[in-house]
């Protein structure tokens, strides 16, 4: 472990008694949290609050319980001196994976979980990128929760699922389905902060003709121009 991250990685060997205690204490929302963390690799405390809670105190309290039970584990990315501390970043723990697998009547292997693979995101060069993608969807969830049921995030698929479904046709960072006031929008998200050539980004967003897409990017104006040029 390099000094780049201060990670709390130690989790004891999972025992039947611990799994039984976890199963007795998990709520429906807890299962949804574990599923979301598993599917999207890593979520910060702030993102989990936006998606599943309202206030910070209940969020931190529940995440602390899930951490003590081994359902989640956490780390804090290093930040330069004077920049403050990063929020806790949460990944699925061994007990959480076992609980999810049992809940679905499958094995942990069939769930697609390996602890060393899950925790590797803490040292990945793609960590900031993944957090950026997840930030976008967390903000959508927060907006939907405030909309008094007028808006909903109906689907949020990670990059690997997009690749499995669309292969060489498109490789977006995520796919979503958004419903608001009776209207529905399917979209691909390509999260970029200006580090890739426009031609490369446009190539990643080639889409099947039967999919209605909305490209959401930070450099919106030039990307829209590139998309028009590509489609024309």
Q: What is the pLDDT of residues 89-129, one digit of tens each?
A: 999 999 999 999 999 999 999 999 999 999 999 999 999 99
Cα distance from N-terminal residue to C-terminal residue, the chain: 50
Task: Spell 120-149 as b/e; 16+ CB within 10 A means b.
Answer: ebbeeeebebbbbbbbbbbebbbebbeeee
Whole-number average pLDDT of the chain: 82
pLDDT given for residue 19 in this prediction: 76
Question: Which pTM was predicted?
Answer: 0.78
The yes-or-no verdict on residue 193 having pLDDT over 50 is yes
Question: Binning pLDDT at 50, 70 and 90, where does residue 206 land?
Answer: low
As a whole number, mean pLDDT of residues 55-73 equals 96
Backbone angles phi and psi of 157, in degrees to 5: -110, 135
């Amino acid at each position: 472990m390099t000094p780049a991250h201060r990670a709390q990685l130690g989790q004891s060997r999972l025992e039947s008694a611990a799994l039984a205690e976890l199963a007795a204490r998990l709520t429906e929302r807890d299962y949804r949290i574990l599923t979301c963390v598993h599917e999207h690799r890593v979520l910060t405390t702030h993102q989990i609050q936006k998606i599943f809670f309202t206030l910070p105190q209940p969020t931190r309290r529940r995440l602390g319980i899930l951490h003590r039970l081994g359902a989640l584990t956490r780390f804090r990315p290093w930040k330069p001196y004077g920049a403050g501390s990063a929020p806790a970043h949460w990944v699925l723990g061994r007990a959480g994976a076992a609980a999810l697998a049992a809940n679905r009547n499958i094995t942990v292997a069939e769930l697609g979980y390996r602890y060393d693979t899950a925790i590797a995101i803490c040292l990945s060069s793609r960590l900031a990128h993944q957090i950026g993608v997840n930030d976008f969807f967390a903000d959508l969830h927060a907006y939907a929760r405030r909309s008094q049921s007028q808006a909903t995030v109906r689907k949020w698929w990670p990059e690997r699922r997009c690749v499995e479904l669309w292969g060489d046709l498109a490789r977006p960072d995520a796919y979503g389905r958004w419903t608001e006031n009776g209207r529905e929008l399917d979209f691909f998200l390509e999260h970029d902060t200006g580090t890739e050539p426009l031609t490369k980004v446009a190539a990643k967003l080639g889409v099947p003709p039967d999919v209605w897409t909305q490209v959401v990017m930070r450099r919106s104006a030039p990307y829209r121009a590139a998309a028009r040029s590509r489609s024309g």
